[in-house]
Structure 1
């Protein structure tokens, strides 16, 4: 019985088609899941940062209002004038005028608040701002009255209330104000009055309103822990009270999403809480809106994938057809290949299932036996040569800075910072040429400073205004030969430790001549040297001075000791290496050597 063998053409076509179908099927779904999860994660991180930023700015506005209330609260002159007003003693007209002037001054030239009201416990009120009435009110009718009396040691912030006077002043139909209220006391710490500072709610929420104008479909809710809605201030805001229970229930959820009680859609949210005001800011965005572009993109990818699939299957058929034609010629060519006069051997019968492959395999085996030894030797030689070149290049580079720079360039590329990328790459190229240049270990000080400045320019592109640096160098120092890579590592070390504190990070490089020595100082505004580290550094130097043994050097990994050793090799006893902590904070490293003392 003769078994009909399959042709390579059929097998290749079948295999290629199956691989293409499987690969395309496995790419779209995992890509969508991965992209949606990544997008959700990024969205939550963005919402977290944005909600915290809004909370900080809102706290700042409340602190400005509180500062006005505290200015009044701690002013004995205000208390004295106000008591004269409520008691009706003295020159009433002049007293009231003086009190009004003082309140205007306490509010400040920029008028950060709309209204200041002073009350005594009997209900006498003195107003300053948009309402300058001197009248008597029923204090117990004030919504904040009981809370303020109970909160004798702090402030009380009201929820937004409709303010008719403010509406008239702003020519607005519905204006809302928020009040910050405090008690003030006499010398015996007995409550004798109340300070109320009112602010237009729209002015208070300017930052949030500006954000909402440019972000349609997103919601911002400001609420208290008891469920009072602070923002939005319009009457429709009461509809958002249904969010309160959901947000409280899900505030510790890792997924950070809830179902909209009104539209029944899934929403991603972030909450920022202020200990200062007791308010919470919740940012919410529809998950459907967030993933809409991804869904559209996935549909397009699926359509393109189907088109690619059909095209690939057609091409795979044509490729399989074309592959089988030259196999016979390839067989003849490989069979005739002969190295070093090795003669052909008898054909070995194979049973792979394919006529063409049997013949091709036989010829290939014969060729492989002839070429194996010589190819192994050639590949080994090339591999060794590549490894030697790679090691030589790596030994001349600073991997730590290079990796950080490449990471920065990658991030900048994602943000389309093309101009900065060009500058960064040009600086990096110059620095790598400088590091890898195979020349003398001594370079002009001007060249070393130029390399250091390029390094700082790269760092400044990354950290922007967080880093400030200055160079102060005597003109007659430019051509002085100094050891290569002697200043930049000091600057990098200063940045490493300065960045542990809040920016800006200030680096100063100063050079000067004294007698026949050159000196360069690198100082920063960081936390300074740890005393134990300084003592260990000093002990290592003393050990080298006593024993005269210089350990093996490497550019990266030995820090200040590496610099000292290279100075020691170049200048012997005519070197300078000092590390000190500055009186006003920060650290300073001074290096130098004798101008004529380079060996």
Structure 2
């Protein structure tokens, strides 16, 4: 069975779902659009950041390289260093004082080559015999094993270009630079030659890794990895950077831009890598999607809270709107459900109350329909009343010829028997009866009047039968004024006389009128042979046929009295609390009982 739902619930649920879907789809589209926009902007940002880091590192390394080239192309440096190493003769440096003065001049030249900004923190000059001349934080002069240096093979590879080392733990710098951390430095090395372009030694300019990357880290923050093409980590420096080394292995396989997975946190991350031809380093910028999307997620949560609030408000407004729409409909439904014949006839116009054009028009149309129905019912009731009156008069008029036929037959018999005086009295009573039955002052009379004319009829019959026929009329005084149909009891008495006299006299007709509660009853009993079975069945079949079809049977003049009374009672009381019984009395004879409500107001 199809589940019935109210218009209010349908409207409420439909609009609530529509609003929820609109908010959800809007949020989803906004999230997707914002996410794509953020990813695009983030990709552009980290790509630009990677270029910026590369350029800044190139600039820092270029400053170091400028210092090294200033030294390489300085003839004074070459001369003083060769004098220092004893490969060149200088009369001024033959004694100890001269050598000291030469070393001082070389140190001054190296300081001047470094410049006032000190782009490098240490300058070291090596000859191939292992003599070291240092200038900067460490100004020692010593002898060392040059070939033991990690960078020696690269520097002497034959190309004689610059060599940039990876950050190394620098014992020289740590011994002179006070720091709580291990001192890692990056060196830029070149081979310097004499004026005949013959290699004479190596120039090393050195800078701590912290100092080199300080400007880059301070401006760009975390998420920076710098490595060379061999996969060696340049930045961050020191130990404990296994995660960064794992990144480097991924980046070697997937250079450029893309997405990767952090093996430690499990977060997806964006990266952009820029290669520097100048340094040979790769600058990788990493951005976590979690941190990238954090503001969007925060905004989304705030939007969801706002959306829920908007949804609740919209649901409340939808409920109010649905109630506003359905309340007039419910009112009309209630009115229709409770409408009956009485309320239709008293129904007034319905004033519109919804404020909605269509519903107001519907209410007005319903009100007008009620008024038209009211008028139609009034006209129908009037027509039905007139029709009933017409039928009652028609049925009543059927009694007249029947009564006249029986009366004239009686007078004819009395004339044959020379009962002239009785005939005169009978004609006087007949005159009164004809005046009564032919009057058009309505079909209802008080019960007292009906019984009075019934008694006149019995007197007329008495002229024929004399003392052989007696009668009695017993009436409750309280019932004398109630209204009953005209000629409703007389046909019963006439029927009793007709069939009760079929046995030997004396004959007696008893009329008794009594009440039970709001009902009145009229009982006519004779002492004749009673109802024959076939006669009672014929009357009962006629009544059942009329109740089934709603059509009155054709009534002949002979034997029409009982059915005529039944039809008029049925029309008058509409079969509601109406009584019509035929039976045999225990002591013999037939009994016919009719009845109805005392007041028409009690009939409904």
Q: What's the offset of the Cα at 1:172?
A: 1.2
- 1:40-439 alignment to 2 at 5 Å? 40-87=39-86, 89-90=89-90, 91=93, 92-150=99-157, 152-173=159-180, 174-211=182-219, 215=221, 218-253=222-257, 256-322=258-324, 356=358
Q: What's the offset of the Cα at 1:16?
A: 2.8
Q: What's the offset of the Cα at 1:219?
A: 2.2
Q: Distance in 2 between matches of 1:248 and 1:93?
A: 51
Q: What's the offset of the Cα at 1:61?
A: 1.0
Q: Distance in 1 between matches of 2:9 and 2:121?
A: 85
310-319 or 99-108: bigger deviation: 310-319
Normalised to the residue count of structure 1, the TM-score between the two structures is 0.50
Q: What's the offset of the Cα at 1:168?
A: 3.1
Q: Structure 2: 5+ residue runs without aligned partners?
A: 94-98, 330-355, 366-604
Q: What's the offset of the Cα at 1:278?
A: 0.8
Shift in CA distance, 322/191, structure 1 to aligned 2, threshold 3 Å: same
Q: Distance in 2 between matches of 1:301 and 1:122?
A: 74
Q: Distance in 2 between matches of 1:82 and 1:219?
A: 44
Do 2:187 and 2:207's aligned partners in 1 also have CA atoms closer than 8 Å? yes
Q: Distance in 1 between matches of 2:9 and 2:143?
A: 101
Q: Distance in 1 between matches of 2:195 and 2:109?
A: 21
Q: What's the offset of the Cα at 1:93?
A: 2.5
Q: Secondary structure at the match of 1:272?
A: strand
Do 1:160 and 1:177's aligned partners in 2 also have CA atoms closer than 8 Å? yes
Shift in CA distance, 110/16, structure 1 to aligned 2, threshold 3 Å: same
Do 1:269 and 1:284's aligned partners in 2 also have CA atoms closer than 8 Å? yes
Q: Distance in 2 between matches of 1:14 and 1:113?
A: 75
Q: What's the offset of the Cα at 1:15?
A: 4.7
Do 2:224 and 2:285's aligned partners in 1 also have CA atoms closer than 8 Å? yes
Shift in CA distance, 142/325, structure 1 to aligned 2, threshold 3 Å: same
Q: Structure 1: 5+ residue runs without aligned partners?
A: 328-353, 364-599
Q: Distance in 2 between matches of 1:11 and 1:160?
A: 73
Q: Distance in 2 between matches of 1:78 and 1:303?
A: 73
**Residues 347-397 of structure 1: per-residue CA shift (max 9 Å, x gap):** xxxxxxx9937968xx9xxxxxxxxxxxxxxxxxxxxxxxxxxxxxxxxxx
Shift in CA distance, 132/10, structure 1 to aligned 2, threshold 3 Å: closer
Q: Secondary structure at the match of 1:122?
A: coil
Shift in CA distance, 252/171, structure 1 to aligned 2, threshold 3 Å: closer
Q: Distance in 2 between matches of 1:359 and 1:11?
A: 22
181-190 or 267-276: bigger deviation: 181-190
Q: What's the offset of the Cα at 1:203?
A: 1.0
Q: Secondary structure at the match of 2:240?
A: helix
Shift in CA distance, 132/27, structure 1 to aligned 2, threshold 3 Å: same
Shift in CA distance, 14/243, structure 1 to aligned 2, threshold 3 Å: closer
Do 1:163 and 1:175's aligned partners in 2 also have CA atoms closer than 8 Å? yes
**Residues 107-149 of structure 1: per-residue CA shift (max 9 Å, x gap):** 1122221111111222222111122222222111011111011
Q: Distance in 2 between matches of 1:252 and 1:208?
A: 20
Do 1:250 and 1:258's aligned partners in 2 also have CA atoms closer than 8 Å? no
Q: Distance in 2 between matches of 1:8 and 1:62?
A: 79
Shift in CA distance, 186/299, structure 1 to aligned 2, threshold 3 Å: same
Q: Distance in 2 between matches of 1:280 and 1:163?
A: 23
Q: What's the offset of the Cα at 1:182?
A: 0.4
Shift in CA distance, 47/206, structure 1 to aligned 2, threshold 3 Å: same
Q: Distance in 2 between matches of 1:151 and 1:34?
A: 56
Q: Secondary structure at the match of 1:293?
A: helix
**Residues 148-186 of structure 1: per-residue CA shift (max 9 Å, x gap):** 111534210011111223223321141111110001123
Q: Distance in 1 between matches of 2:266 and 2:158?
A: 40
Q: Secondary structure at the match of 1:150?
A: coil
Shift in CA distance, 66/180, structure 1 to aligned 2, threshold 3 Å: same
Q: Secondary structure at the match of 1:205?
A: helix
What is the RMSD of the two structures over their aligned residues, measured on CA atoms? 3.0
Question: Which residue of 1 is the match for residue 490 of structure 2?
Answer: none
Q: Secondary structure at the match of 1:235?
A: coil
Q: What's the offset of the Cα at 1:326?
A: 10
Question: What is the number of residues matched between the two proteins?
Answer: 326
Do 2:256 and 2:273's aligned partners in 1 also have CA atoms closer than 8 Å? no
Do 2:125 and 2:134's aligned partners in 1 also have CA atoms closer than 8 Å? yes
Do 1:130 and 1:165's aligned partners in 2 also have CA atoms closer than 8 Å? no
Q: Distance in 2 between matches of 1:122 and 1:170?
A: 27
Normalised to the residue count of structure 2, the TM-score between the two structures is 0.50
39-48 or 87-96: bigger deviation: 87-96
Q: What's the offset of the Cα at 1:325?
A: 8.7
Q: Secondary structure at the match of 1:166?
A: helix
Shift in CA distance, 222/304, structure 1 to aligned 2, threshold 3 Å: same
Q: Secondary structure at the match of 2:304?
A: helix
Question: Which residue of 2 is the match for residue 566 of structure 1?
Answer: none
Do 1:85 and 1:95's aligned partners in 2 also have CA atoms closer than 8 Å? yes
Do 1:120 and 1:193's aligned partners in 2 also have CA atoms closer than 8 Å? yes
Do 2:328 and 2:359's aligned partners in 1 also have CA atoms closer than 8 Å? no
